[in-house]
Amino acid sequence: MRLLVLGAGGIGGYFGGRLAEAGGDVTFLVRPKRREQIARDGLRIESPLGNARIKVRTVLAEELRPEYDAILLTCKAYDLDAAMQAIEPAMPCAIVPMLNGLAHLSHLDVRFGTPNVMGGTAQINVTLRRDGVIVHGDGLQRILFGERDGRKTARSQALADAFAHTKVDWKLSEDIEQDMWEKVVFLCALATTTCLFRGNVREIVAAPGGREAMLRALEANAEIARREGHPPRPKMLESGRARLTDPEGLWSASMLRDLESGGQVEADHIVGWMLERAREHGADDTLLSLAFTHLKTYEARRAAVRLPPPTGS
């Protein structure tokens, strides 16, 4: 399978890098500075599962041609429009989106056609360091993908065959939209609480009412998923409760890290998207509403601070 990976950041760089490390036919669509960095230093991964420095192929936007079987789409939700424009010269082919949430699916369907859009989700703690190194934080490095109608197709099997040669924990899912719903149930609870309370799991659980808030956030999202026809499986809920109430849990949502660094956040695409569905179904929206207000207030202040100074008349 000829795979194009949009970007060589945390998620794309890690999973695409592991495929390339195993001999997969992988090309990274990058900007000029990242191309220079990779040409000089290789694609570098630091991970408890093994460090790597990999020589990989890169392509710039103006060089892109329709010569790939699939695209691993690994951008932030607020960059989706730019990402769709960037990959258009490579179409038609299968798109395997790794964005958080589910809001992006309808946009991809409209732009490229539903048959071209698979489902996918990643579970990994990974960041791109300023020096270009992809830093994988712990042992979790799972990727799930599949056809949204549950069929096993030649393209989904080809992707599975490619991952089978890597050290990645992968799954060709028979119900990828259920997997995506279960991820957003947990992720949105983590983003809601860690952004609202400005702390990691351990700090929140140690605070008065913190454990109860964590469980309330998870259950509220689970109820929304049930009413949407995707009830979370018991194993997922058990795991989610354990991670959200771990007294030693040092993790937080990437949205909190983005917020604390002054960056853009996926407020509309994760918390806001779930809040809309809570209100549609009459589900508990207390924590979602408070977190969304908090995040939108941050976005407004960030925008105001970045406005250019007024010019004289």
212 with 124, same domain? no
Q: Catalytic site residues?
A: 183
Could you tell me which residues come within 8 angstroms of residue 197 by beta carbon, excluding any fewer than 6 positions away? 203, 204, 207, 210, 213
289 with 147, same domain? no
What's the token pair of residue 57?
A: 């192929």
**pLDDT tens by residue, 71-105:** 999 988 999 999 999 999 999 999 999 999 999 99
Q: What is the pLDDT of residue 105?
A: 96
Cα dihedral: 294, 211, 11, 152 (round 10): -110
User: Which of the listed residues 117, 142, 174 is the one where a domain comes to its end?
Assistant: 174
* Amino acid residing at 229: G
User: Which of the listed residues 159, 174, 189 is the one where a domain comes to its end?
Assistant: 174
49 with 164, same domain? yes
Distance of CA 128 to the CA centre of its chain: 14
The pair phi, psi for residue 86, each rounded to 5°, is: -65, -40
Spans of the chain below 70 pLDDT: 307-313
CATH number at residue 70: 3.40.50.720
**pLDDT tens by residue, 273-309:** 999 999 999 999 999 999 999 999 999 999 998 756 5
56 with 189, same domain? no
**Secondary structure of residue 169 in the 3-state scheme:** strand
DSSP 117: B
199 with 58, same domain? no
Is position 310 within any domain? Answer: no
User: Which of the listed residues 116, 149, 174 is the one where a domain comes to its end?
Assistant: 174
138 with 30, same domain? yes
Could you tell me which residues come within 8 angstroms of residue 257 by beta carbon, excluding any fewer than 6 positions away? 127
CB burial class (10 A; 0-12, 13-18, 19+) of residue 221? buried
Give this prediction's pTM.
Answer: 0.89
> Are residues 240 and 187 in contact, defined by beta-carbon separation less than 8 angstroms?
no
> Are residues 211 and 184 in contact, defined by beta-carbon separation less than 8 angstroms?
no
Domain range enclosing 54: 2-174
